[in-house]
Amino acid sequence: MRKSILLLLPLLLLGSCKTFRGQFTTHEDITLNTGKKKVTIEVGQREVKINFKSKKKAELEIDGHKVDLKFDSKLKIPSNGDFKVKASDWNQVYDLVGTSKVEVTSGPLSHDFESCVERVPYTVCNGRSCHIVYRDFYGQRHVEYRLRTTTQNIVMNLVAEDHGHAEFSGYNSSSERVYEYYGNCR
């Protein structure tokens, strides 16, 4: 059962260094190929967490178990749009049909003070020669920024013979500061 998440393999192509959280639901018992053997997953719903370690490796967490995955980097899944992965493209008896959508939102303008370092050059002369020495001065500066949040939602269906057997619905969200103003370091 812990290897049931192998059907989420194409998610790995959506990017590396991301974590997707979501629900995996099976509507009937399904059997997946895991390479050396077949695993049967019973009907039910479970929480899933997928940690992408690179474009070729990920760690899946389901029911308290961790499953390492390796995948072929030749598959191309869009980060925004519809996709279909044929069963033969990921060594399963099911096609994977889904949609991925990326939403970017910006928050209100925020004001704050941040620590800063200013490197100041000084000319030092010793007899006949002079050279420049840099000193670091630590201080604070006023900044203005907006918090930009990027959320990627994905819905995938495990399909065989035009019949849905299972589905995954999950998301990845990250935020970053987008600076609009940096004050002087004082």
H-type alpha helices, 39-96: none
Which of 7, 29, 8 is closest to 20 using CA atoms?
Answer: 8
32, HSE (Cβ side, Cα atoms, 13 Å): 21
Q: Which residue has the higher pLDDT, 138 or 4?
A: 138
- What is the residue type of 51? N
Q: For residue 8, what is the DSSP state?
A: G
How far is residue 99's CA from residue 48's CA, in Å, rounded to a whole number?
Answer: 18
Query: Which position has the token pair 């065989």?
Result: 160
pLDDT band at 84 (very low <50, low <70, confident <90, very high): confident
- The pLDDT of residue 98: 87
Diameter over CA atoms, the chain: 88
Question: Which of 22-36, 69-83, 117-131 shows the lowest per-residue confidence on average (mean pLDDT)?
Answer: 69-83
At residue 140, the pLDDT reads 97
Instruction: Give dist(CA 29, CA 22) in Å, integer.
Output: 20
**24 Cα distance to chain centroid:** 18
Amino acid letter, 89: D
Note whether 156 and 100 are within 8 A (CB). Answer: no
Distance CA 84, CA 159 (A): 10
Residue 5 pLDDT more than 50?
no
Q: Is the pLDDT of residue 81 over 70?
A: yes
Instruction: Tell me how far apart the alpha carbons of residues 127 and 116 are, in angstroms, rounded to a whole number.
Output: 35
pLDDT at 39 over 80: no
**Which residue did the predictor score with more confidence, 31 or 166?**
166
∠ CA 173-71-73, rounded to 5°:
85
pLDDT of residue 40: 72
Q: The tokens 């935020």 sit on which residue?
A: 175
Q: How is residue 50 written in tokens?
A: 């997928």
